[in-house]
């Protein structure tokens, strides 16, 4: 059951099902065994179903919703809820290696309606299978991530600590975790300034990264006090976007 707060009404229900899991007896190996080839192991998958809490009054109403639904908006809402669950699982299990997801990582995406038992079991009265979401391709003339990957792996380049910190700030910001985003952004911008990445103008209005320092610091201090206002999202978005642009300019040699 998913609620925005303990005393709030249920917004939706998240159903998680493991599919294609290997039999338990096949997993019980206490000793190494000799093999002749590295054949692929069966890989289980997880089906995540987000079910709205409020039922449709009739099947015709449900059909009309499916016909006119903003599919991108529905997908974004479902991914946001699933990532909220993964974040909660990561914190509850104290496991830092539980990742969050993007639509591009889904094997298949479906949107539809049915009875409670149907949708909980992965069945529908009617459903649509959406086209596969593919990552936006960067122009090779501007950025070549494959080449940089090889350079990083081969030791020809080094990763700046700020690069990972900015990625974490972006993930927190996209997930609506403003307090975490503010704290990550504060460390990230200090790391960027220390690495002289802020030497060129990088903000959308021509402001340098140093111009975002005070806003990020204020947001981080408010987050520590538990008083981060909701309108901090816009300032954090602008600051994180400026840091991303500064790093992009550095990768391009600007």
* Average pLDDT taken over every residue of the chain: 85
**C-alpha angle with apex 35: 32 to 39, nearest 5 degrees?**
115
Query: Domain for residue 246, yes or no?
Result: yes
Strands (E), the chain: 12-19, 45-52, 110-113, 126-129
207 lies in the same domain as 90? no
Q: What is the pLDDT of residues 110-134, one digit of tens each?
A: 999 998 888 888 889 999 999 987 7
> Do 109 and 1 share a structural domain?
yes
Residues 8 and 105 in one domain: yes
Q: Which of 179, 241, 239, 197 is nearest to 215 (CA)?
A: 239
Same domain, residue pair 96 and 3: yes
**3 state SS of 26:** helix
115 and 170 share a domain? no
How many Å apart are CA 13 and CA 113, to the nearest integer? 14
Q: Is the dihedral of CA 67, 73, 75, 80 positive or negative?
A: negative
**In this structure, is residue 123 part of a structural domain?**
yes
Same domain membership, residue 241 and residue 221? yes
Tally of domains within the chain:
2
Domain end point (choices 81, 114, 136):
136
pLDDT of residue 80: 92
Look up the domain containing 226 and give its range.
145-251
Under the banding of pLDDT at 50, 70 and 90, the label for residue 29 is: low
């Amino acid at each position: 059951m998913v609620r925005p707060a303990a005393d709030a009404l249920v917004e939706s229900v998240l159903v998680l099902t493991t599919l294609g899991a290997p039999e338990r007896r096949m997993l019980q190996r206490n000793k190494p065994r000799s093999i002749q080839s590295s054949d692929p192991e069966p890989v289980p998958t997880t089906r995540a179903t987000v079910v709205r809490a409020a039922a449709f009054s009739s099947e015709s109403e449900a059909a009309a919703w499916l016909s006119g639904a903003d599919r991108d908006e529905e997908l974004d809402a479902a991914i946001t809820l699933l990532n909220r669950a993964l974040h909660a699982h990561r914190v509850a299990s104290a496991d830092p290696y539980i990742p969050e997801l993007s639509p591009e990582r889904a094997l298949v995406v479906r949107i539809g309606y049915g009875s409670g038992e149907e949708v909980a079991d992965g069945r529908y009265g009617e459903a649509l299978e959406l086209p596969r979401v593919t990552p936006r391709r960067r122009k090779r003339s501007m950025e070549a991530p494959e080449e940089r990957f090889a350079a990083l792996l081969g030791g020809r380049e080094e990763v700046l600590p700020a690069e990972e910190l900015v990625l974490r700030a972006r993930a927190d910001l996209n997930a609506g975790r403003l307090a975490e985003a503010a704290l990550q952004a504060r460390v990230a911008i200090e790391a960027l300034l220390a690495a002289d990445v802020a030497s060129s103008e990088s903000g959308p209005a021509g402001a340098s990264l140093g111009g975002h320092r005070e806003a990020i610091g204020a947001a981080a201090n408010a987050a520590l006090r538990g008083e981060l206002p909701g309108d901090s999202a816009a300032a954090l978005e602008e600051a994180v976007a400026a840091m991303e642009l500064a790093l992009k300019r550095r990768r391009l040699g600007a």
